[in-house]
Amino acid sequence: AQRVTQPEKLLSVFKGAPVELKCNYSYSGSPELFWYVQYSRQRLQLLLRHISRESIKGFTADLNKGETSFHLKKPFAQEEDSAMYYCALDNAGGTSYGKLTFGQGTILTVHP
Amino acid sequence: NAGVTQTPKFQVLKTGQSMTLQCAQDMNHNSMYWYRQDPGMGLRLIYYSASEGTTDKGEVPNGYNVSRLNKREFSLRLESAAPSQTSVYFCASRKGYASYGYTFGSGTRLTVV
């Protein structure tokens, strides 16, 4: 069974401070991992996917298979980063058939 | 460029009433999903449809039924609503391979009293 754990329900930082949102997963196959973000009163939207190794809005995330982690990081947080962040795992394993499992979510608040 | 459209946006039901949540996507995606979002529990998969004509149970299917009417539409039905089904419901779709990511609808906020 696949499982995603986000240990922090709430995370508060000040503007300009570094931020790290933790995500750990358990899955026996080859997972595809994502970060989704939900801004206030908006729909979930894809922020990052591990396969593309991209940086979006200053955020990066590295897949660490040894530690089964996919932490989201940003060196200098901005107030507009305040949102709910979900880590998610897809079990498709390179096929076209799969389903997404979400962590419990972390509410990030960036104070001015 | 509508993406994934859900109706209604808000609904209040009395215990025991039934209703259907509608979802439609215009991106020619193969797979569609229904999730519920509850505080402290993240999003949990209710049902999904890998392709037109197929549906499968997710993590929390009890009390729900689904219909994949065609490639565009995937509806979620509550036959006899219970207060435990008070939640925000999200529909999502995916083009094909997981690396493309999922596109979500704006959600339906359902309250069962």
Residue pLDDT, tens place only, A70-94: 999 999 999 999 999 999 998 766 5
- Predicted confidence at residue B17, as pLDDT, reads 97
**Encoding tokens for residue B4?**
């994934």
- Which pLDDT value is given to residue B102? 87
B69-86 residue pLDDT tens: 899 999 999 999 999 999
**pLDDT, average across residues B21-35:** 94
Q: How big is chain B by its Cα radius of gyration, in Å? A: 13
- Of the pLDDT bands very low, low, confident and very high (cuts 50, 70, 90), residue B87 is very high
Question: Three-state DSSP class for A39?
Answer: coil
Residue A57 to residues A18, A77, A79, Cα–Cα distance (Å):
14, 10, 12
Q: Do A104 and B97 touch (CB under 8 A)?
A: no
Q: Check residue B1 and give its pLDDT.
A: 60
The pLDDT value given to residue A12: 97
- For residue B106, how many other CB atoms are within 10 A of its CB? 16
Which residue ranges of chain A lie beneath pLDDT 50? none
pLDDT of residue B53 exceeding 80 = yes
Average pLDDT over residues B89-107: 84
Distance CA B45, CA A24 (A): 19
Q: Given a cut of 60, is residue B96 above it in pLDDT?
A: yes
Q: Do A34 and B31 touch (CB under 8 A)?
A: no
Quote the percentage of chain A above a pLDDT of 90: 60
B50 touches chain A (CB under 8 A): yes
Confirm or reject contact between A103 and chain B (CB < 8 A): yes
A12 touches chain B (CB under 8 A): no
**For chain A, how many residues are written?**
112
